[in-house]
Structures are given as C-alpha cells and as structure tokens.
C-alpha cells in the first residue's frame, strides 16, 4: 500500500504555488510533483527500484524547464527522506546546484546537514522551525511532537539525531511515526538506534525485544510486492 505524503512537506510541491489561481498547471509540473511524491514514498517504504525510477522521471520533467531552483528542491526532498531514515550522508545532488540556489534552499540544506545557523532558521519551512530554534534538547523533543505531518516530523527527528540532540523521547516519536505510516526503512533505522542505546545501557531484555521487532519487519520484505 502506498501512503500519500502531505504536499506541505514535499518541498518540490512549493513550486506549484507559483501557478496563477484558476490556471491549470502545465503537464511537466504535475508529472514532476507526482514523480517526487511517489519516489519519496517508495524510498520510505524501502522500494529502491521504484524510488530511482520515479525520481528520474521527476528530474527529467523539471530539467526540461532549466529551472535550477526547482531541481534544487527535488534534490533536497530526496536528501530529506534519507535524513528521516538516518542515512546521514552529504546531499551531493544539491551541492552541485548550491551556487545558484536561493537562500531558503541553502538554509534547508544546512538544516539537513545539521549545520544551520541561528540567522537561517527563519528561512526554513514552518514545520521545521520549532525544533531548529529549540533552546534545549527537551524543548526540541516537545516541539517535535507538535509537528502534525509525519514526514516533516521524521525529518526533524533525523536532524536532531544528526545534531546529537535526540533524546529517548525523540527516538520513540520517530519509531511511532514511521510505524504508523508503514515506512519500513526509517522504522528499522530508528529501532536499531533504540536497540543500540538499550545495549549500551545494559538493558539486554529491552534490546532483544526491539531486535525481535526488527526481525519481524525484515521478514515482511520477502513478501512479493
């Protein structure tokens, strides 16, 4: 089952707002929007083949326009899904476009990398500002729970983890969020962190319980899709 993602948290959907009210969106816009949403959902569900196919489709449609800012948003959306899944690598696709990206796009890239400055926080999407501006780890965890959209919530959790600010509450929020959506990839990643922390704390039974849950999720991957 494919879960839809809220358009408010898919960065690339922002460019649809540039269309005049009442004016039908061009075909390339609709194809790109559908492609990046399907790509992101597929990635979160652990379907790499579909993710790559749909991202290539979206990228091709946007590249036809020569709009670098929109290509940058595509790359940032892709990288955001990886941060949400605790794949903490450089956003190479955006780096190639950074020189010509807007201040908002550069701020979001810095946010995903865990290097955002205080001055840049106001440039972030509204769903991400509360955790980025939180003055303490406890406040950040509370702000995370106040983010309504599940994808935005997982992104914020991933950034907190990358910034070494992920409390047990953050971990549990991320696990619950990914589980509720059926997003296998981030769910396994966050459960693994919980298991490792339990092991480090000497809570062997808790770690084993989490590992059993992970094994159950892993076994579902063998089911034909």
Overall average pLDDT of the 36-48 stretch: 95
Q: Which domain holds residue 172?
A: 11-220
Domain-embedded: residue 225:
no
Residue whose entry in the numeric block shows the structure tokens 């509204």: 126
Overall average pLDDT of the 17-23 stretch: 46
For the chain, what is the domain count? 1
Domain-embedded: residue 156:
yes
* pLDDT exceeds 60 at position 7: no
Both tokens of residue 49?
A: 């083949």
pLDDT of residue 11: 52
Residue 122 carries which DSSP code? G
pLDDT of residue 223: 53
Overall average pLDDT of the 141-168 stretch: 97
Distance CA(193)–CA(213), nearest Å, equals: 13
Domain-embedded: residue 200:
yes
Distance CA(114)–CA(109), nearest Å, equals: 9
Q: Are 127 and 152 in contact (CB under 8 A)?
A: yes
Mean pLDDT check: name the lowest of 7-16, 26-35, 53-62, 76-85.
7-16
Nearest C-alpha neighbor of 14 from the set 62, 85, 66, 84: 62
Domain-embedded: residue 86:
yes
Q: Are 168 and 197 in contact (CB under 8 A)?
A: yes
pLDDT of residue 26: 86
110, burial (CB in 10 Å: exposed 0-12, middle 13-18, buried 19+):
middle
> How far is C-alpha 170 from the chain's CA centre?
15
193 confidence band (pLDDT: 50, 70, 90): very high
Domain-embedded: residue 3:
no
Domain-embedded: residue 60:
yes
Neighbours of 183 (CB within 10 A): 25
pTM above 0.85, yes or no: yes
Q: Are 150 and 175 in contact (CB under 8 A)?
A: no
What stretches of the chain show up as alpha helix (H) in DSSP? Answer: 27-44, 48-63, 68-84, 92-95, 103-113, 126-133, 137-145, 150-162, 168-181, 184-200, 204-220
Domain-embedded: residue 91:
yes
pLDDT of residue 5: 55
Both tokens of residue 63?
A: 């590249």
pLDDT of residue 49: 97
Domain-embedded: residue 5:
no
């Amino acid at each position: 089952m494919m879960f839809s993602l809220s358009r408010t948290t898919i960065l690339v959907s922002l460019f649809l707002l540039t269309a005049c009210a009442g004016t039908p969106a061009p075909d390339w816009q609709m194809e790109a929007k559908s492609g990046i949403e399907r790509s992101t959902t597929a990635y979160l569900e652990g379907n790499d083949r579909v993710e790559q196919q749909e991202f290539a489709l979206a990228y091709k449609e946007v590249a036809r326009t020569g709009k670098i800012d929109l290509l940058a948003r595509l790359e940032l959306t892709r990288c955001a899904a990886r941060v949400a899944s605790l794949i903490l690598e450089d956003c190479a696709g955006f780096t190639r476009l950074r020189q010509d990206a807007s201040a908002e796009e550069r701020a979001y890239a810095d946010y995903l990398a865990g290097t955002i400055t205080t001055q840049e926080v106001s440039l972030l999407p509204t769903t991400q500002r509360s955790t980025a501006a939180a003055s303490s780890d406890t406040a950040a965890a509370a702000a995370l729970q106040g983010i309504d959209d599940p994808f935005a919530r997982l992104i914020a959790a991933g950034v907190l983890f990358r910034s070494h600010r992920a409390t047990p509450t953050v971990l549990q929020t991320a696990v619950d969020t990914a589980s509720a959506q059926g997003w296998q990839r981030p769910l396994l990643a966050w459960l693994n962190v919980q298991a490792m922390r339990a092991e480090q704390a000497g809570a062997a039974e808790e770690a084993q319980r989490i590992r059993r849950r992970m094994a159950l999720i892993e076994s579902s991957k063998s089911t034909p899709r």
